[in-house]
Every structure is written in C-alpha cells, then in structure tokens.
Amino acid sequence: MTCNPSWEEITSELFPGQTPQDRPDLLTRIFRTKYEHLKKVIYNTGVPGKTIAHVHVIEFQKRGLPHCHMLIILEESDKLNTLDDYDRIVRVEIPYREEEPELYNIVLKHMIYGLCGALNPNSPCMKNGSCKKAFPKQFYEVTVQGNNCYPVYMRRNDGRYVALDRNIEVEIDNRWVVPYNPWLLLKYDSRINVEVCSSIKCVKYLYKYVYKGPDRVSLKVRLGPSYDEISKYLDARWIYASEALWKFFSFPMNRIYPSVERLQVHLPNRHQVRYYSHISIMEVLSNTSNSKTMLTEFFRINCTDPFARQWLYREFPEHYRWVATGKKWQRSVSQQKVIGLIYTVCPSEGERFCLRTLLNHVGGPISFDHLLIVNGVAFPTFKQTAERKGLLEDDNSIHQCLLEAATTHMPSALRRLFVTILVYCEPIGVRTLWEEFHSFMRQDYPTSSSSNNRVIINLLLQDLNALLQQHGKRIHDYDLPQIHMSMNSSATLTNIQDELAVHAPPKDLQSI
C-alpha cells in the first residue's frame, strides 16, 4: 500500500499554493491512519479470511511517499488453495467502464505499471534491454500456478485498449495491469498491490525488509585539494522529510504477530555475562544479577508459583513476560499471543543439546538437578537422562553405516568415519560401537605374537584423539577408554619387541 497524495484528507488541509509534498507531516499522519484502518479491516473482519499471523514493514519511496509491505497468513480453513480462490481475491484486468466506472478510473490512476520497454527504454526498471518485472506481461486465458513467487494470473486478450496520457499518448491493455483487489482499491483509493504468496521465495522477500537493518552506503576517498562538505553529506545519506517525521512521531517501522521470545539455554554456570572493561572480575562475580538468566529464573519461579509448573519452557512466554531490566518473569496480563523459541543447539554440543531436549519435554523443572531425575533415580549427565526417557534416537542407522564401512573401507578411512560420527551424529551407545568396531579400525597396525593388545588399543586411541582434536574435541569427551600416557611411544616399543622376538637358531649363532 502506497500513500496517495491526492487523498481528500490531505488536499483539504493545504493552504493556497501548497502541494502535498510541502506538508510531509500530513502525508505521514494520514497514511498511518489509513494503514492502521486497513490492518483492522484485514485482521478483525476476516477479509479475505481469518488471519493467524502477519508481518509488515514501512518504507519510503525516493520521492518521499511512505508505503508498506504486508504479509498475512490465513487460517487453514481460509487458505487460498485453488486457482478459483486466486481469481476471487486478485484481478489483473482493466474493468469495463460501463459496468464499474469508479473502479475503472481508480485502476487507470493507480494500477497501471509505469511505461517501459519499447515505449520507454530509459525507464529505471530496464535492465539489459528488458523490464526487471517482466512488463508487459503475456496474455493468459486462465490463471495458472507459476514457477516463480506468484501465480500467473488471468489476463485475457479481449481486444480492448485504453488511451493513457502520461506525457505521451499510448494505448495500453491488460498486460500492463498490476494485480489488485477491487474491494480494497475502492475502499482506500490508493495503489494497493495484492498478490497470492504461492512459494517461500516471496515470503523471504518480505521478511528481508524486517531484518536487513538501516540503510547502508558505499563511500570512496578522493584525492584533491577541494573538499565539498555538502556533496559529501548528500552522497553519504539522504533522508526525506516523511521518513524523518515518521521517526520523530515514534511510529513503528515494522510489526510481527505473533511475537517470538527467544529463550536462553545453557549448562549450569556456563551462561554468558557481559560487563564493561573497567569493571573487575570480583565485582562481576559479586553482582547477583549476573547469575540470573531466563533459564535460572524459570527454575526459580517454578519453585514458588504452582501455576508455572504446568508449562514447558517453550510454552512459558505464552503466560509469563520476561522483564529484561529486572531479569525476572512476570505473569502476563495481555491477551497477545507470544511464541517461545529455545535457541537452536547443534547435536555436536553434547550435554547442552540433551539439556535442550529435556526442556522441550519436561514440564515444571525447579533446577538443573531436577531435570536429571527419572522415576526417583538421579543420573549423572543430561545425555543419560534423555536416553532413559527415550528422547534420543537409537544407533541403528549408525551401526549399519559402520558395518558396511568395515567391509569396504581401509582402517584409516574407518577411523575418520568413526570420528565424524562422534562429532556430528552424537550416538547414544558410543561404548557399544567402540567394542564392536575397534578391531576393524586397528587392522593396519603392525603386530606380532608378542604384541600387547593393550598397546595396540592405546595407539588406536591416540590416533582417534588426534582426529578429534581437529574438530576441537578429545577422547575424554566421549564414553571411550582413556589413553595411557605411559604408552605414548607404544608404536616404537612394538617395533622393538617385534625385532627382539625373532628367534635365532643355535646353528646360526655357532657359525659366527
């Protein structure tokens, strides 16, 4: 939706000789009023269906007019699933003047794409000799599901041409019409481009406006005696009056519903603490607020509030509000929907990943130790607790992978595969996999009748540890036998033992 400077609410307030561009305060306030009304109509009245989620962001054109991008997600029963649903909401044809005279005039005023192509080769939308938006479009007798972001709407070639005066006399047809909704166009008398989002590509296009941050510029340093401060300022950044006033009035630039509360997840006493460089470590440790996090306060409130114990950690923001200034949870009194989202944790992080898994399935925990208890039995690690609760997948696929590799790969490749599985797959029964496949991983080591099996296993553990260190891990991070440091030179000792084990016959010794 784009601001229409010809709205009666704007023109009626202008002084003689003024233009709408002379009153950016009017443009800003009137557009926001219209847009807020549009949101209420869409969200509350069920046009075009019941809305369960939405996002919008405000932007400003180069000429200063504000406009907004809005994405709405409808309830499952109201989703637009068929081509007939698309045609019911979106039109891309010029109305018949005799049947819909008012809509006819508004479409010609707002919904005709700027002339480009052969009619205007110098149009800003031209790139490599063609329009970036692919105008003029092709004629289609029926609406079809497109391969790009949006459907290919019905644009019938009915033989009608309309004279359009935009400094040059041209005749346009349905190929130049921007998709619109007749009801919204008549109600707001503004350029309102309506599309059906039929792929994730267009959803990403809208969301990038929310997260791209402020405008950025490119600068270059010029050598020379002259220094033009005005030119340097204008080249660095240009903010139109409408954008400046929008921010002066503290109008929101974007909104997302439902809002998302990101929830911290960390191991005991392993959370991040931020402090200024001039503060000593002792002051940081003595500050009790530094020990408070979303997770620890979640445990604390479960101890004192029986109502809180019925919710999972990710469900907590739906009923409680996090107060960042006081680092505490408060019972929420608003009816706004909030989605809790625990930060993603990679399975390679081991205990932290298992802690996140437990938080997603255990309601009302009062401490880290409470999460370790299953049926009255306390387990030493979160991983063992998650295994006991059946929250981790078994190792069947991993076992089959190693079994196949043991028959087709060299031992060195099998060792690398085993390390990869440890780092990225987080198997449950690491010791079981070790007991079954360690004999295959050491087959290329030199052995003899006098070789000690313990020495060979220690050598294998050293090689595995060297591979794990490349990923920032060590043997002691997993349920594997520990390396005996007294056998660091086991390979050399094995070679010496092999040489000493060779038996020399007495006849050969007597012939010397």
Q: In degrees, to the nearest 5, what angle opens at C-alpha 342 toward C-alphas 339 and 348?
A: 155
CA 421 remoteness from chain centre = 27
Ramachandran quadrant class, 476 (left: phi over 0; alpha: psi -120 to 50; beta: rest): alpha
Range name among 114-118, 181-185, 437-441 with the lowest pLDDT average: 114-118
Assign 492 a pLDDT band (cuts: 50, 70, 90).
very low
Same domain, 68 and 13: yes
Same domain, 109 and 163: yes
Q: How far is CA 325 from CA 81, 328, 340, in A?
A: 45, 8, 19
Q: Taking residues 114-134, what's their average pLDDT?
A: 84
498-507: pLDDT as tens digits:
555 567 787 7
Same domain, 369 and 466: no
Q: Taking residues 250-276, what's their average pLDDT?
A: 91
Q: What is the DSSP string of 129-184?
A: TEETT-PSPPPBSS-B--SSSS-B--B---S--EEEESSSEEEE-GGGBPPB-HHH
Q: Taking residues 400-410, what's their average pLDDT?
A: 90
Q: What are the phi and psi torsion angles at 433 (to 5°)?
A: -65, -40
Number of H helices, E strands in the chain: 19, 13
Same domain, 370 and 418: no
Residue at 138 is within a domain: yes
Residue at 208 is within a domain: yes
Q: Taking residues 119-148, what's their average pLDDT?
A: 85
Give the pLDDT score at 437. 93
Residue at 506 is within a domain: no
Q: What stretch of H or E contains 187?
A: helix 182-188
Q: Rank 187-201, 223-237, 361-375 by mean pLDDT and report only the highest.
A: 361-375
Rounded CA separation 149/153 (Å): 12
Helices (H), 372-452: 382-388, 396-408, 411-424, 430-441
Please identify, among 388, 420, 450, the residue that sits at the C-terminal boundary of a domain: 388
Q: What are the phi and psi torsion angles at 405 (to 5°)?
A: -65, -30
226-259: pLDDT as tens digits:
667 766 666 666 677 888 899 999 999 888 888 8
- Count how many domains the chain has: 3
Q: Taking residues 97-124, what's their average pLDDT?
A: 89
Give the pLDDT score at 47. 79
> Is the link from the previous residue into 136 a cis peptide, with omega within 30 of 0?
yes
Please identify, among 323, 353, 388, the residue that sits at the C-terminal boundary of a domain: 388
Please identify, among 337, 360, 388, the residue that sits at the C-terminal boundary of a domain: 388
Residue 491 has pLDDT above 70, yes or no: no
Percent of the chain with pLDDT strictly greater than 90: 47
Structural domain span for residue 421: 407-500
Q: How far is CA 296 from CA 202, 290, 321, 368, 488, in A?
A: 40, 11, 15, 9, 44
Same domain, 328 and 360: yes
Residue at 221 is within a domain: no
Query: Residue 410: how many CB atoms within 10 A of its CB?
Result: 11
Residue at 450 is within a domain: yes
Assign 362 a pLDDT band (cuts: 50, 70, 90).
very high
Give the pLDDT score at 168. 58
Q: Taking residues 386-390, what's their average pLDDT?
A: 88
Structure tokens belonging to residue 43: 């969200």
Range name among 168-172, 365-369, 396-400 with the lowest pLDDT average: 168-172
Same domain, 372 and 431: no
Same domain, 303 and 184: no
> Is the link from the previous residue into 151 a cis peptide, with omega within 30 of 0?
no
Span between the terminal Cα atoms of the chain, in Å: 105
Same domain, 155 and 282: no
What b/e readout covers 144-179, taking b as 16+ CB neighbours within 10 angstroms? eeeeebbbbbbbeeeeeebeeeeeeeeebbbebbbb
Q: Taking residues 144-171, what's their average pLDDT?
A: 79
Residue 490 has pLDDT above 50, yes or no: no
26-63: pLDDT as tens digits:
999 999 999 999 999 998 887 788 999 988 889 887 66
Same domain, 374 and 428: no
Assign 191 a pLDDT band (cuts: 50, 70, 90).
very high
Q: With DSSP H G I counted as helix, E B as strand and the rest as coil, what are the percentages for the chain, rounded to 5?
A: 40, 15, 45
DSSP state of 477: G
Residue at 219 is within a domain: no
Give the pLDDT score at 232. 65
Same domain, 186 and 46: yes
Query: Residue 334: how many CB atoms within 10 A of its CB?
Result: 7
Rounded CA separation 345/354 (Å): 9
Same domain, 109 and 161: yes
Rounded CA separation 419/404 (Å): 16
Residue at 63 is within a domain: yes
Assign 292 a pLDDT band (cuts: 50, 70, 90).
very high
Give the pLDDT score at 160. 84
Range name among 49-53, 112-116, 146-150, 333-337 with the lowest pLDDT average: 146-150
Rounded CA separation 177/203 (Å): 22
Rounded CA separation 320/333 (Å): 8
Residue 134 has pLDDT above 90, yes or no: no
442-452: pLDDT as tens digits:
988 877 555 57
Residue 191: closest CA among 87, 97, 113: 113
Same domain, 451 and 482: yes
Give the pLDDT score at 493. 44
- What's the chain's average pLDDT? 86
Residue at 280 is within a domain: yes
Q: Taking residues 255-270, what's their average pLDDT?
A: 91
